[in-house]
Each structure stands twice: as C-alpha cells, then as structure tokens.
Amino acid sequence: MNVDGKKYRTIWLAEDGASVEIIDQTRFPFAFETVTLRTMEDAAHAIRVMQVRGAPLIGATAAYGVALAMRADPSDDSLDAACSALLQTRPTAVNLQWALDRARRSLIPVPAENRMEAAYILANDICDEDIAINMAIGMHGMELIAAISSTKREGEPVNILTHCNAGWLATVDWGTATAPIYMSHEGGIPVHVWVDETRPRNQGAFLTAWELGHHGVPHTVIVDNAGGHLMQHGEVDIVITGTDRTTATGDVCNKIGTYLKALAAKDNNVPFYVALPSPTIDFSLSDGVREIPIEERGAEEVSRMTGRAQSGSIETIDIVAEGSDVGNPAFDVTPARLVTGLITERGVLEASRQAIAAAFPERVRASA
C-alpha cells in the first residue's frame, strides 16, 4: 500500500539481493522505520518481539528466515534447525507452521548447492500468493459491503467494526479484514470503520488507525468495550475480523476480545464475518477452544502503556496497582456457531466442516 506516496509491502528483499527488509511495527504509530534482517536469528527475533506480527506476515517472515539460513548453510541439518527455531517464535498463528512445512517439503529434495536460490524463490512466492489471496478476499468481501450499502441512503456509510490489526501491516499487502474495506473505499462505496483499540498492545489504535488514516478511510478508534453498546444502537452494520488459526470445523482463533465481539454481534443480529486466507486453516483440528494453543504473553504488556507525552517524547508508564497479579492471554476462540461467514479467497463460506472442505478439497486431501 502507499505510505506518503511511496508503495510498500511489509517485507521485501533488500537491494543486495540477500538480506530482507521489514517495517518495524513496534515503532508505530510514532515512527516509520525499517529493519534489515541478515540472518535466520534476525528473522526469529523480529517475529518474537513482534517487529512483524499478524498471521500471514509471520508466515512470510519465517519463509525468508529459512532463506537466510540456507544462505549461511544449505545442509539438511541447517534446514531442520532453522525450521525448529522459527517454529518456537510464536505458538498461535498457524501460518508459521504452514510456511515452514512448505519450505521443508519443497527444499529437502533440492540439492544443497541449489537450496539457497530455491528458498528465496519460495519466500517470494509465498509473499506474492499472500497478496493474490488478500485481493480475492477483498473482492468477495466487497460484495457483502456493497449489499449493505445498497440498503442505505445515498452517501450514508456502511459501518464496519474490526478488532486488532488484520490490515496490510499484518500481511504482505492489502490485509485480510481490511482488503474489502480498502476495495470498497476505492470503489466509491462509503465506509466508516470502528477500530477497537485492542488492548494490551493496541494494534487497533496504533496500526489499524494508522493504516486507515494513511488511506483516507474514515474511522473512529473506540475502547474495546464499546462495540456491544454501538451494536445495540444500530451503529454497526457488519463486523469483519482476521484470524490466526481456524479449525477444519470453522472455529476461529483471533486476538483476545474477538469472542466477546461475536457474542455481542449475535445478540444484536449484526453479521460477524472472518476474513480467512486458506493458509490460516488448520485442517488437523476440530475443536478450537480445546485444541488451539493460546499464547500467554508478558505481564508488562498489560501493566504498562507506551505513548507520546505532551513533551513529544515517547514514554512508558505503569498503569496497574503495584503488587497485583496480571494475566495476558493473547488470543481467544470464537466457536463456528457465532460466525456468519468466512471470507476466503474462494468465496464467502459457511463456517462449517462441509463448506470448508468443499472449498479446499486439496488441503483436506493433503492433511489426511
């Protein structure tokens, strides 16, 4: 997408053709900075500390991490070590495992002297495919927004609520939940986005608001608890979120708080859609609540807040009473029964085993 007139992806090969550039998402919204990844360890670090985050971008970074490892040492042992180190970085987003499985499967048969080149080509392919997937999600999702828009008065916006950041910063480009929003906006459909701030890391307030602002998409940042109230008052037409892992049965794991939005949406007859690129489907799982590993992150994310002080300096302050225990589960699971539909690259599907299997039969076969 464009940042101040310059076209960016979130990850790209540096001019030296070897190292990899990323946008440092820990610096948003106060600074736009890039970081160079030169080794597999740099890539693992970037995922772990969330310089890159969002399920599809985690997968793409891991693929480049494998390429960097193959550059240093293309042996089988190095490939195995890289895949296992990268897999440890974050537990919930299944795109990480998907990208590493794909890398391992395609590189093992390649002779060591050609592995480095093959690994870079694969990482680049994964990035290009992610963009194509997100554009297809955007086209399908735009139809849903257009249908709602056709019920409104001329010029009245469709109000879309989103949680966390499933925007272009979470992918290689376009985003998943935001792709239908960007396409609608560019296609002349008036939209307005309710952006959940998404405590504790504020991906909504820091990232989604920044993205939408740079694209001129009208939006309003709200506290995480405001969604139910807005739905009760008819101010939300549709909810669209992303996902980090969706089971074969359509249970959706996403940023903590998504489940509560789905409950509120159900109670208020607001359609609740999930933008789902197929690499985010885990065909080995059937029960999201019991089977998806939920990342528990550090207490300091909850007990501290970072922001820009009136003086202009970036400061971190404590916001929890001293001595209190703090918990920080980073994701939750919305059961399929609360999901109106899954917006995939192959169309909008019911959140059910049958619909998912019918849309992605080759993935079902591969997982058998």
The values of phi and psi at residue 366, to 5°, are -65, -30
Q: Point out which residues pair with 220 in neighbouring strands.
A: 194
Residue number, 74 or 277, with CB nearest to ligand MRU: 277
Give the whole-angstrom CA distance, residue 351 versus residue 340: 7
* Nearest Cα residue to 102 out of 113, 92, 94: 94
Residue number, 114 or 225, with CB nearest to ligand MRU: 225
Residue 334, helix vs strand vs coil:
strand
Give the whole-angstrom CA distance, residue 327 versus residue 27: 24
| Longest distance between any two alpha carbons in the chain, whole Å | 63
Which residues 6+ apart lie within 8 Å of 339 measured at CB? 250, 252, 262, 272, 273, 274, 351
State the number of CA atoms in the 13 A half-sphere of 366 facing the CB. 12
Residue number, 83 or 274, with CB nearest to ligand MRU: 274
Q: What does the DSSP assignment read for 34-94?
A: EEEE-SHHHHHHHHHTTSS-SHHHHHHHHHHHHHHHHHH--SHHHHHHHHHHHHTS-SS-T
For residue 365 the two structure tokens come to 């076969």
Residue number, 164 or 270, with CB nearest to ligand MRU: 164
Give the whole-angstrom CA distance, residue 138 versus residue 178: 8
Residue number, 70 or 136, with CB nearest to ligand MRU: 136
- We find the least distance from the C-beta atom of residue 255 to ligand MRU, in angstroms, to be 3
Residue number, 61 or 243, with CB nearest to ligand MRU: 243
- We find the least distance from the C-beta atom of residue 7 to ligand MRU, in angstroms, to be 20
- We find the least distance from the C-beta atom of residue 275 to ligand MRU, in angstroms, to be 7
- We find the least distance from the C-beta atom of residue 331 to ligand MRU, in angstroms, to be 7
Residue number, 55 or 339, with CB nearest to ligand MRU: 55
Rounded to the nearest 10 degrees, the angle between the axes of helix 112-149 and helix 179-186 is: 60
The verdict on whether 73 is a catalytic residue reads no
Distance from CA of residue 14 to its chain's centroid?
23
**Distance set, CA 354 to CA 241, 274, 339 (Å):** 22, 17, 15
- We find the least distance from the C-beta atom of residue 169 to ligand MRU, in angstroms, to be 9
- We find the least distance from the C-beta atom of residue 171 to ligand MRU, in angstroms, to be 5
Residue 148, helix vs strand vs coil:
helix
Residue 342, helix vs strand vs coil:
strand
Task: Report which residue's Cβ sits closest to ligand MRU.
Answer: 242
Residues in the chain: 368
- We find the least distance from the C-beta atom of residue 57 to ligand MRU, in angstroms, to be 7
Residue number, 78 or 162, with CB nearest to ligand MRU: 162
Q: Please identify which of the residues 130, 237, 244, 251 carries the catalytic annotation.
A: 244
- We find the least distance from the C-beta atom of residue 294 to ligand MRU, in angstroms, to be 11
Q: Which residues bind ligand MRU (CB under 6 A)?
A: 53-56, 93, 164, 166, 170-171, 176, 203, 242-244, 254-255, 330
Catalytic residue numbers?
244
